[in-house]
Every structure is written in C-alpha cells, then in structure tokens.
Amino acid sequence: MLAVIYVMAKEDFYKLLGVEKNASEVEIKKSYRRMAMKFHPDRNADKPEAAEKKFKSVKEAYEILSNAKKRAAYDQFGHAGVDQSMGGGAGGFGGGGGDFGDIFGDVFGDIFGGGGGGGRRRSNVQAGADLRYNLELTLEEAVGGTEATVKVPVLVSCKACNGSGAKKGSTPVTCTTCQGHGQVRMQQGFFSVQQACPTCHGTGQQIKDPCRPCQGQGRVQENKTLSVKVPAGVDTGDRIRLAGEGEAGANGGPSGDLYVQVQVKDHAIFTRDGANLYCEVPISFPTACVGGTLEVPTLNGKVKLKIPAETQTGKLFRLRGKGVKPVRGGAVGDLLCRVQIETPVRLTKEQKTLVEKLQESLTGGGKHHSPQEHSWTDGVKSFFDKLTG
C-alpha cells in the first residue's frame, strides 16, 4: 500500500522536463540541461533545499527518458514499471545512484571535456607544433628565385623507442591515478569539475620505465637541414610552407609544418615597392642643361637612359619591364629612375670665373632661364604685398 502511495505522488517525467511524449532524444537532453540550470541551488539561494529536490527529480526523469528501454517501460507501466526494473530508485537518490556532484557533472560534462559520470579519456595522440624560420634574402635572390639551405632545431620522434617514451622492451601502463580515464574529478560543495589527470596529463597511461635518450618524452631535439626552393618574385612578409617539417607529434601524432618567413635585405641601389623598382641617378649640371645619355643599372645588366635637355632634378624616368614579376602572377613591374642634379664642387679659380660669366649671361637679356625660381620669387612677392596692403 505504501509503494502505491509513493508512485502516485511522483510527478509525470515528461511534465518535469517540459517535453511532449513523442519528444526526440535531442529535445529531451536539451530540455534537461535547461531545467537543471533553472533549479540549480546556486541560482536559488532563497530556497536551496527545494531547488535541490526539484533538481534531483529532473535528473531522475532524464535518466529514465534518455534510456530507450526504461522509457518504453515507463510509457507502458508508468512509475511502477521503472521502479520495479531499477529496484526502487530510478537513478538512486537515496539508493546509491550518485550524489549531487554527479548531477552537476552530467550537466556540464561536455563543457569540461568529460562525459556522464567517469569522463572521457583524452586521446594521447597529439599533432606536432608548427615552426617558423626567418630567411634573409638579397634583392637579387628574391626577384630571381633561389634554393636556400636552412638548419632548424626541431623535436623529432625518438628512434630508440619509436616515439612511445618507454624503454625498448617495455610498454606504457594504465595510469593508477585516473584508472586510464585521463581525467580526474574535483568537487567542492555542489560543484563537480573534471580536469586532466596531473599524473598522466590526460593520456590515461604512465611510463614506468622511461626511454633514456628522450627521458620518456618520445621526442628528442635535433638540427634538421632542409633545402628550401624560393620562387621568383617573393617579397618581405611572404611565407613558404614546408608540410610535415615542423615538430614531430606526440605518441604517433602527425608532424607540424615549417613556415619559412621571407625577409629581403636592403639594397645599395634599388628600393622595391611591389612589382616596381626605384633608384636615384645623379647627373651633372651640364647634362641636365644640354641633355645626354647615361648607363643605368638594372637587375639584368646595364641599359642606356636618354636624358633630354633642360631636365629638372627629381624627374622620374620609367624603364618598362625592368622591375619584378610578382610571385602570385601579373605583369612585370618597371624600373623608375629619379634624377638628382649634382652641384659642382671643388672648383678652380678659372672654373668659378666661368660659372660667374654663365650666371651673368643667364640673368641678362630679359629671358627667364630658371622658370621655377622665377615663379617662386613672384609668389613670395605677392604674399608680402598682401600682408602690407
């Protein structure tokens, strides 16, 4: 008679979780998490005991409805069917089915990497880390392409133990701290959080007899010599990926990659801007006045540059196709030569006299032989006239 009263007093499990009787497993699990958060005692500080009671009822409902066999028995016989099949506990709140910490662990197990109850064992196979190597190139090497040899310190799989970390002839054993789960549970009050086992670091295994060369790590450091093919047209900031040439993975995991970072050195003559090259070309005063032809350097040899008469300092001359072909495709850039007129220095007395005569000749006759100077002088005069006017 007491058993009948106990069953009749229980609330319908579907109503407890707020779902329909034809709800899917996904809907039931989603609703369970929502209800568990709603009735968590820490969120109901005013009525913690009532909240905990409701929380456990929600847990009990979920344990039944998330199990296909128990759910079928409950749908057919109600509470009596599942109480008999579970020995009067339906999850055991007072009957050995788990404490409140277990409930909290079930709700948040996915967040902390655990599973319902014991936690999932973390895979001990880990990918190796990616590495970066800074490669300095001359401008000629970057523009024309080259093949460079680099030495990189990397962690490689230990040959003595084939990467297992255990001495030859021995094998890793199940961790005695976590019993091979790879995780342990830390509990304070209502909170139960799973974390990686401090003994085996989440692998679930211990090495009792470690390999001497690698000290049980499964990897040793070596200097690896690699040949890097640098394509033509690379520039500072470009990266070349060498797949699988990074650090070896742990416990048979895949190796990481090596990224070669390009850094182009400054050049004595040329400055690069994308596909174009720039250089400054000094010319003499007479050449600037009457014109002439100069030889200018390019990355492929010398070419002739024609300087027209009356060339002003700073003028840019474009040599098409004498720049860089970009590594990602596109037209070859140009070489832009900026002329700089040099003022004669260390003049003799005779040369100074000739320059003075030239100056007298240029300023006489009413012609303006220095148009920029004349324009600037007129602009200054106009400026001061406005100030005084």
Buried (b) or exposed (e) across 244-274, using 16+ Cβ within 10 A? ebbbbbbbebebbbbbbebebeebeebebee
Task: Return d(Cα 352, Cα 362) in angstroms, integer.
Answer: 15
Amino acid at position 191, single letter: F
Domain range summary for the chain, segments of one domain joined by +:
2-98, 131-264, 271-341
CATH code reported for the domain at 2-98:
1.10.287.110
* Structure-block tokens of residue 154: 């990397």
Task: Give, for all 389 residues of the chain, the pLDDT tens digit.
Answer: 333 333 345 688 888 888 888 888 888 888 888 888 788 766 777 777 887 888 888 888 888 888 888 888 888 777 766 764 444 443 433 333 444 444 444 444 444 444 444 444 445 667 888 999 999 999 999 999 999 999 999 888 888 888 878 888 888 888 888 888 888 877 666 666 778 888 777 778 888 888 888 888 888 888 989 999 999 999 999 999 999 999 888 766 788 999 999 999 999 999 999 999 999 999 999 999 999 999 999 998 999 999 999 999 999 999 999 999 999 889 999 999 999 999 999 999 999 999 889 888 887 766 666 767 667 777 777 777 777 76
Residues 6+ apart with CB under 8 A from 276: 323, 324, 333, 334, 335, 336
Closest Cα to residue 272, out of 329, 341, 328, 322?
322
* Structure-block tokens of residue 19: 């779902």
* Structure-block tokens of residue 30: 């989603």
Closest Cα to residue 176, out of 203, 217, 206, 210?
206
CA atoms within 13 A on the CB side of 82: 27
Query: pTM surpassing 0.85?
Result: no
Q: What is 271-341's CATH superfamily? A: Urease metallochaperone UreE, N-terminal domain (2.60.260.20)
Tokens 């895979």 found at: 123
CATH code reported for the domain at 131-264:
2.10.230.10
Closest Cα to residue 332, out of 350, 349, 318, 311?
318
Continuous H helices in the chain: 2-9, 13-17, 25-38, 48-65, 68-77, 79-85, 100-108, 139-144, 285-290, 349-363, 371-388
